[in-house]
Structures are given as C-alpha cells and as structure tokens.
Homo-oligomer: A and B are copies of this chain.
C-alpha cells in the first residue's frame, strides 16, 4: 500500500526558532520581549530588530534549536501511516544546509535522508498534506494544508489551524476514521 504523503516544515513547526531570536534580541537590545510584543508578526519585524534576522546566515544558528514539544513522538507515530517528508526552505541560507541535515539526523533519526527536501519555493512539492507556518507555502500547495500557529500567522483564517503537536496527532487520527 502506498502511504499518503506529508510535507512537513522544519522551522517553527518541528524546530523552535523563537527562543533563539528572543535571546538574540535581548543580547542586542537589552530587552526581553514578551509574547504580546511580537504577537501578529515575526520577532525580527519589531522596530530595530531587523538585523537579528542576519544571524540566520551564521553557521550554527540552526544546529542547536530546541525540538518543538511533542513533535518527535507524533511524527514517529505518523510514519506508520504516512510517508513523511521534511520540506524546509533552507536555500536562502547556505550556512544552514549542514546544520539542518545534522539536526534532522540527530532528532528525527526515524526519517530517512531520502525524505529530506531542502528547497526555496515550495510550490515544486507534491504531497497529500502540508504542515507549515507560512501561508504562502500553503497557498500554492495542491493537497490539504495545515497551518501551524506562529506569531506571524495568527490572523490567518483560510487554512485548518493546528496549535501544537497534540492537535496534529488528533487531526490525522480523525482523517483515518
């Protein structure tokens, strides 16, 4: 039996980028941002924080990101029923390629490298489901898109929203009924 496919994003879906951005912002500007400060946008879209985004180009930035809570367990269980591809828009950041590769091998060893996809424009992908925090990726997707809640997408209403990995597990359990 061919399993349905899931195209699963990395950053802000299985890898938590926010804590590192908050640390960098505090380090650079001396202020610890609270959720209400950046809710509705990206952390680096706050006045004076744009250069925090430059750290994305540094070796090591993506190497030690914390794993999104619950993602390992749920992804592992999803692989029983689905062919899970990790699809990440890595190409803007040359320095991220090896870091992301190593991070996946370390934290998601049950996903084979054959199922890693490092790309830019995700409209090249063909799958049955896509889990992503970026609306533009879901807009061009031909399968069913799930929007993973992140600060920058909270006002979006066009897609099925998932707020955490427990909700993703529940969604796919219902899909199989």
Measured CB to CB, the residues of A under 8 A from B are: 5, 7, 85, 87, 90-92, 94, 97-98, 101-102, 112-121, 123-127, 142
Given contact pairs A92-B113, A114-B91, A124 touches B121 in the complex (Cβ within 8 A): no
Given contact pairs A5-B124, A124-B125, A124-B127, A113 touches B91 in the complex (Cβ within 8 A): yes
User: Contacts of A112 on B, CB cut-off 8 Å?
Assistant: 120
Complex Cα spacing A142 to B125, Å: 12
Copies in the complex: 2
- Given A85-B124, A115-B124, A118-B118, list of 12 further CB < 8 A pairs? A5-B124, A91-B101, A97-B97, A112-B120, A114-B120, A116-B118, A116-B119, A116-B120, A117-B118, A118-B119, A124-B126, A124-B127
**A166 CB to closest chain B CB, in angstroms?**
27
- Asked if B125 contacts A115 (CB within 8 A), the reply is no
Given contact pairs A94-B98, A125-B126, A126-B126, A119 touches B117 in the complex (Cβ within 8 A): yes
- Asked if A97 contacts B101 (CB within 8 A), the reply is yes
User: Contacts of A113 on B, CB cut-off 8 Å?
Assistant: 91-92, 120
- A141's closest neighbor in chain B, by CB? B126
What would be 28 A-B contacts, judged by CB atoms less than 8 Å apart?
A5-B124, A7-B124, A85-B121, A85-B124, A90-B118, A91-B113, A91-B116, A94-B102, A97-B97, A97-B98, A97-B101, A97-B118, A98-B98, A113-B120, A114-B120, A115-B120, A115-B124, A116-B119, A116-B120, A117-B117, A117-B118, A117-B119, A117-B124, A119-B119, A123-B126, A124-B125, A125-B126, A126-B142
